[in-house]
């Protein structure tokens, strides 16, 4: 993976920036002795008193493949806890970037405080950390605002069949049953659906004297320079790019309904089912010819029962295979809504109310 990253680095610009920083530090710090055979420059910068210097140490350790610096970087990350100042945040960003480049394994308790603010780098590092990274991935899975990091975490946890992941995915799903009632002889017609998505843009103001900043982007398709992050029914890739100082634009993508569809695909994989066998679609649209109230209510009950049975079957499979933690099955009640739309031209009376069809099983 290191070679893939090297292609995205403009070493001429980095060299100029690095020489500027080394001049700022002065010859004494460059000549100091390093411990544990870490490059002396990296050692001294990581031990320096300013966030900017430590960020430079992290940057040089990562881009220089200084594997022996990984324990010190993890120690620094642990010391930072939740960064409060802007400079602290850029130092943490540089440390996380270095740990990605070094493909380091990091304990969850060290990484968790940063998973919310730096979800992309956190999910990458968690993927490098085997089971140690599972709590971080579960934390990302428990939140809505993680963009494609959520889908990457879902893929990784599905592949490892981590207990607890299924509950997060199943708990977020909702199913809507919509009955479209038409006059006899008018069966048919389409009632469409849409998928909502968005792209949010923001920016970073890099403080003076900090090294180039790494920006990570996640994709659900293979693009130029992409590295595979998480295999699955929809693989997730990432690209690392560097930006030098000043104002840096960043973006994030959210896809609420696509994320739910991804959760359904992962749940089907965990249960050993084909996607179409899951029976828990986001929305079921049915068109029926109205004959009488009894026939209408019977159809509503049948469709509702079909979804509830699919939910029960999935819970049974997940419990059997040890994919739910103790007590999770009892908390996973299906979120199901019913609605009916009357398309009849001249109905003699309104459709019966649906509460009669929503009696407890």
Identify whether 319 is part of a domain: yes
E strand or H helix at 262: helix 256-271
Q: Does 341 fall in a domain?
A: yes
Please indicate, yes or no, whether the overall pTM of this predicted structure exceeds 0.85. Answer: no
pLDDT higher than 90, residue 314: yes
16-20, 178-182, 305-309, range with the lowest pLDDT: 16-20
Instruction: Evaluate if residue 136 carries a pLDDT over 80.
Output: yes
My answer on whether 89 and 182 are in the same domain is: no
Region for 189 from its dihedrals, namely left if φ exceeds 0, alpha if ψ lies in -120 to 50, beta otherwise: left
Per this entry, what is the length of the chain?
361
pLDDT at position 148: 92
* Residue 257 falls inside a structural domain: no
Over 80: is that where the pLDDT of 324 sits? yes
The average pLDDT across 185-207 equals 52
Both 125 and 182 in one domain: the answer is: no
- 28 is written with which tokens? 């004494």
pLDDT confidence bin for 152, thresholds 50/70/90 = very high
| Residue 207 pLDDT level (bands cut at 50, 70, 90) | confident
> At residue 198, does pLDDT exceed 50?
no
Asked whether residue 151 carries a pLDDT value surpassing 60, the answer given is yes
| CB crowding 72-82: b at 16 or more within 10 Å, else e | bbbebbeebee
Residues 187, 328 within the same domain: yes
pLDDT at 20: 47
pLDDT at 139: 95
- Residue closest to 241 by CA, chosen among 230, 254, 225, 253: 225
Residues 182 and 121 in one domain: no
Q: Is residue 226 part of a domain?
A: no
Same domain for 7 and 136, yes or no, is yes
Q: Assess if residue 132 is contained within a domain.
A: yes
Considering the domain architecture, whether residues 14 and 141 belong to the same structural domain is answered as yes
The answer to whether residue 68 is domain-embedded is yes
User: Above pLDDT 90, what percent of the chain?
Assistant: 55
Confidence of residue 90 (pLDDT cuts 50, 70, 90): very high
**Statement to judge: residues 124 and 188 lie in one domain:** no
So what's the pLDDT on residue 355? 65
Asked whether residue 63 falls in the same domain as residue 187, the answer is: no
* 133 and 282 share one domain: no
Between CA 106 and CA 100 the distance in angstroms is 10
Strands (E), the chain: 175-182, 198-206, 213-219, 227-230, 236-243, 246-254, 283-289, 336-342
Q: Are residues 188 and 316 in the same domain?
A: yes
Distance, in Å, from the CA atom of 77 to the CA atom of 62, rounded to the nearest integer, reads 14
Point out which residues pair with 286 in neighbouring strands.
179
Mean pLDDT of the 260-269 span: 94
Let me know whether 300 and 185 are in one domain.
Answer: yes
Residue 328 vs residue 18, higher pLDDT: 328
Which residue range(s) make up the domain with 344?
175-195+277-358
Residue 249 lies in a domain: no
| Confidence label for 186 from pLDDT (cuts 50, 70 and 90) | low
Grade residue 119 by pLDDT with cuts at 50, 70 and 90.
very high
Does any domain span residue 18? yes
Task: Say if residue 105 is in the same domain as residue 185.
Answer: no
Residue found by looking up tokens 């998928």 in the block:
195
DSSP codes, 43-91: HHHHTSSSHHHHHHHHHHHHHTT-GGGHHHHHHHHHHH-S--SHHHHHH
Total domains in the fold of the chain: 2
**At 208, is the pLDDT very low, low, confident or very high (cuts 50, 70, 90)?**
confident
């Amino acid at each position: 993976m290191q070679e893939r990253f090297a292609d995205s680095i403009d070493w001429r610009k980095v060299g100029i920036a690095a020489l500027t920083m080394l001049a700022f530090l002065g010859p004494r710090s460059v000549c100091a002795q390093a411990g544990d055979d870490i490059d002396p420059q990296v050692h001294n910068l990581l031990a320096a008193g300013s966030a900017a210097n430590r960020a430079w140490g992290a940057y040089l350790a990562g881009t220089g493949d200084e594997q022996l610096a990984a324990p010190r970087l993890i120690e620094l990350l642990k010391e930072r806890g939740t960064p409060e100042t802007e400079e602290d945040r850029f130092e943490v960003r540089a440390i996380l970037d270095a740990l990605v480049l070094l493909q380091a394994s990091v304990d969850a308790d060290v990484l968790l405080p940063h998973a919310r603010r730096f979800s992309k780098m956190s999910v990458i590092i968690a993927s490098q950390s085997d089971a140690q990274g599972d709590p971080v991935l579960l934390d990302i899975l428990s939140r809505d605002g993680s963009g494609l990091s959520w889908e990457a975490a879902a893929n990784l946890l599905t592949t490892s069949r981590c207990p607890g992941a299924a509950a997060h995915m199943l708990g977020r799903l909702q199913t809507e049953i919509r009955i479209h009632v038409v006059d006899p002889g008018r069966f048919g017609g389409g009632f469409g659906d849409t998928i909502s998505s968005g792209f949010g843009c923001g920016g970073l103001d890099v403080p003076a004297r900090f090294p180039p900043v790494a920006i990570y982007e996640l994709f659900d398709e293979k693009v130029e320079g992409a590295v595979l992050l998480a295999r699955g029914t929809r693989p997730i890739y990432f690209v690392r790019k560097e930006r030098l100082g000043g104002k840096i634009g960043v973006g994030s993508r959210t896809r609420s309904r696509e994320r739910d569809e991804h959760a359904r695909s992962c749940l089907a994989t965990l249960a050993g089912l084909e996607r179409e066998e899951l029976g828990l679609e986001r929305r079921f649209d049915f068109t029926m010819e109205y004959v009488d109230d009894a026939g209408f209510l019977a159809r509503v009950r049948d469709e509702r029962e079909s979804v509830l049975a699919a939910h029960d079957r999935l819970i049974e499979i997940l419990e059997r295979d040890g994919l739910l933690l103790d007590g999770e099955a009892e908390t996973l009640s299906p979120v199901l809504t019913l609605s009916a739309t009357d398309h009849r031209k001249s109905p003699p009376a309104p459709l019966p109310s649906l509460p009669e069809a929503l009696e407890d099983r």
